[in-house]
Amino acid sequence: MSLVVRAASRPEAVVPDVTGAIRLIDAEQPVLDVRTLESLVDDSLAHRRVSMRLLALFAAFALLLAGLGIYSVLS
């Protein structure tokens, strides 16, 4: 189960209050993996980000090879 909480202050400052409220409702409910939404989104996009950087690297290398090939044909 996931719980999303919007906070006006720093998210780290709200964690003890939210954990306390969950403990008041159900003392046996585990509270695990408390993270900010920003870190959750960063983790979910990390694979795509690495793939896009690798694709850009290969595209730049292909452009360099094409430029060298055209230069060698013209000279």
Separation between Cα atoms, residue 63 and residue 75, nearest integer Å:
18
Q: Is residue 6 part of a domain?
A: yes
Q: Is residue 64 part of a domain?
A: yes
pLDDT reported for residue 10: 87
Distances (CA, A) of 7 to 13, 15, 27, 45, 59: 9, 10, 23, 23, 42
pLDDT reported for residue 57: 98
**For residues 22 and 29, is the Cβ–Cβ distance under 8 A?**
yes
pLDDT reported for residue 65: 98
pLDDT reported for residue 74: 96
pLDDT reported for residue 53: 98
Q: Same structural domain for residues 55 and 29?
A: no
Q: Same structural domain for residues 9 and 30?
A: yes
Domain containing residue 52:
44-75
The model's pLDDT over 1-59, given as tens digits with 9 standing for 90+, comes to 788 888 888 888 888 999 999 999 998 988 888 888 888 999 999 999 999 999 999 99
Q: Same structural domain for residues 57 and 28?
A: no
Quote the number of domains for the chain: 2
**For residues 37 and 4, is the Cβ–Cβ distance under 8 A?**
yes
Q: Same structural domain for residues 48 and 24?
A: no
Distances (CA, A) of 50 to 5, 13, 56: 29, 32, 10
